[in-house]
Amino acid sequence: MRRKEHAEILSVIEQETIELFDKDREILRNTAKENILKIQEENKRYHDHKSKPATVYKEGDIAVIKRTQFGAGLKIQKKFLGPYVVSQAKGNDRYEVIKLGDGEGQKITTTSADHMKLYKA
């Protein structure tokens, strides 16, 4: 037989269990958040240490673009397309380029600085 006191005791115990669970969960979340932030900082430091700044191109610079598409027979093709002339800087190290001559590649395209290098005639 259940009495009123038993129900009250059970509800108090249940409430305390829920509070303890919430407190433990919050501690685990905070610990995980701190660990994630620490690892992210470490990864950023490592990336910044290993990476070099992007080359800045001016309008009128002549550059070639790295071939990014793969396919059959491309293994023996040239690694770079072009030459291209830089027509506009778009921000975030992106450039609009126009093809010089009749070689392989698009006539007008946009590319990033990490896929470009200055053309040496």
State how far the Cα of 74 lies from the Cα of 66, in Å rounded to an integer.
13
Half-sphere exposure of 87 toward its Cβ, with a 13 Å CA cutoff? 12
Closest CA to 112 of 44, 50, 63: 63
Give per-residue pLDDT as tens, 2-52: 677 788 888 889 999 999 999 999 999 999 999 999 999 999 999 989 888
Would you kindly state where each structural domain of the chain is located, as residue ranges? 1-51, 61-118
pLDDT value of residue 2: 62
Average pLDDT of the residues of the chain: 89
CA 34, 37, 38, 39 dihedral sign is positive
